[in-house]
Amino acid sequence: MSQKQLHSTEELDQFVNENGKRLLFKHSTICPISTAAYDEFQAYVQDNAMPSAVILVREDRPVSNAVAERFEIKHESPQIFLLENGQVKWHTSHWKITKDAITQAVQE
């Protein structure tokens, strides 16, 4: 399953509004904590066929801000969201982003 990088709010809307479960990861390419969390996210995605997308928070700040506004969840980086049918079912940030945590959230 391919992973998307979202560069616009239109791409965000399209990704969020698709049916089923999907993962959205907000990543800062200059943060070592974000890099570690991104590696955990990638490990999950490589082993599971789940639609996923990444927002690079520095490069695509308007898209990152749109996530915080749309879901009324304070921006953090790194940050991951499990979406289902357009709604946030689970989210976490920083060191709590692990392959095991994602696996557990998806299974619930």
Tokens of 105: 């959230």
Whether the CB-CB separation of 4 and 47 falls below 8 Å is answered with no
Q: What is the pLDDT of residues 84-97, one digit of tens each?
A: 999 999 999 999 99
Residue 1 has pLDDT above 60, yes or no: no
- Per-residue pLDDT band for 3 (boundaries 50, 70, 90) equals confident
* pLDDT tens digit sequence for 23-72: 999 999 999 999 999 999 999 999 998 999 999 999 999 999 999 999 99
Q: Which residues contact 88 (CB under 8 A, 6 or more apart)?
A: 71, 73, 81, 82
Task: For domain 3-107, give the CATH superfamily.
Answer: Glutaredoxin (3.40.30.10)
- Neighbouring CB atoms inside 10 A of 107's CB total 6
